[in-house]
Amino acid sequence: MTFVFGLTGCSSLMILAEPNVNYPYQQQPLPSSNIAPQPLLQLQVQDPQAAEFQRLSQTNPKTAGEFFQRGLAKFKLQDFTGAIDDFDQAIELEPELGEAYLYRGKCKKALKDRKGAAADLEYALRLNPDSANVFLRSGWNKEQMRDFRGAIADYTKAIELNPDLFEAYLRRGDTKVIMSDYNSAIADYNEAIAIDPNSADAFRKRAYARYKLKDYRESMADQETAKELYQSQGNYEGYKGTVDMINLLREIVKRR
C-alpha cells in the first residue's frame, strides 16, 4: 500500500491508504506477509517520484506551505527528524495548519515517540474534526499504545466520516481480534472485502478470525482465496504463508 500526495499545495494533500499494519496476532499460527515493524513509508528505488521528492527536500522554503512541502518530501524520503524540523517551522508560521500536525505526528510515531505523536494527532483532530484520515491515524496510534477501546472509537468515527475507508474496517477488525471479539472482527473484514475484493490480506485476516472460532472449513476457503490473490500479485511470502496454513487446516479437518 502506498501514499499518494498532491504536491501543488497543502490543500491538495490526499491520503489514499495507510502503510503496512502489524497484525495483532503475529505470534499466532497464522504467518503474515507484513508483520515486521517498518518505517511509515518505504521509498522504492524505482519510484518515479523519487527525484521530485529529492529536489523538494533541497529547496529553501520561506512560507508555511513551502516548509510543509519540504517536510512532506523528507517524510517520503524517511528523513523523519528533518521532516519534523520543517513541520515545526510550518506550524510556527501558520499555527492552524492541521496537515503539519498530522504529519509531524506520523514522524514522531516512526521515531517511537508515541506520546508526542498522540499529542499532535489530538491537535490535528481539533483542527480537522471531519477528517476520516486523521481519525484513522489516531486510532492506529492508540492501538500501538494498547488503548484498544479508544482505537475502535477512532476507527468507527473514521468509518462514519468515510464509509468506504478500507483501512478503517481492516484495522478495526484487527483491534477486535486483539480483544477476542472474532465475530465482530469478521463483520469488519467482510466490509473491507466488499470494498476491495482483491485484498489478500483481508481474506487472510478473516481466515484467522474464523480459525479462532474453529470454523476451519470457512477459514481454509479464505486461505485458498488469499493464496490465489498472493500468487497473482507476486507476493511469495504471503503465498507461502497461506500454503502452510492450508496444510495445517487440512490436518485439523481430517482429525475431526
pLDDT tens for residues 159-193?
999 999 999 999 999 999 999 999 999 999 999 99
199-241 pLDDT tens trace: 999 999 999 999 999 999 999 999 999 999 999 999 999 999 9
Q: Is the pTM of this model over 0.75?
A: no
pLDDT at residue 16 above 80?
Answer: no
Domain ranges of the chain: 1-24+47-128
The total number of residues written for the chain in this structure = 256
Q: How far is CA 105 from the centre of its chain?
A: 14
For residue 150, count other CB atoms closer than 10 A to its CB: 17
126-168 pLDDT tens trace: 888 888 988 998 898 889 889 999 999 999 999 999 999 999 9
Selected residue with higher pLDDT from 36 and 92? 92
pLDDT at 129: 85
Which of these, 207, 209, 212, lies nearest to 246 by C-alpha position?
207
Separation of alpha carbons 77 and 107, rounded Å: 11
pLDDT band at 122 (very low <50, low <70, confident <90, very high): confident
Assigned CATH topology for domain 1-24+47-128: 1.25.40
Asked if residue 204 lies in contact with residue 213, where contact means CB atoms within 8 angstroms, the answer is: no
Separation of alpha carbons 245 and 216, rounded Å: 11
41-98 pLDDT tens trace: 333 434 556 666 667 667 778 899 889 999 988 998 899 999 999 999 999 999 988 8
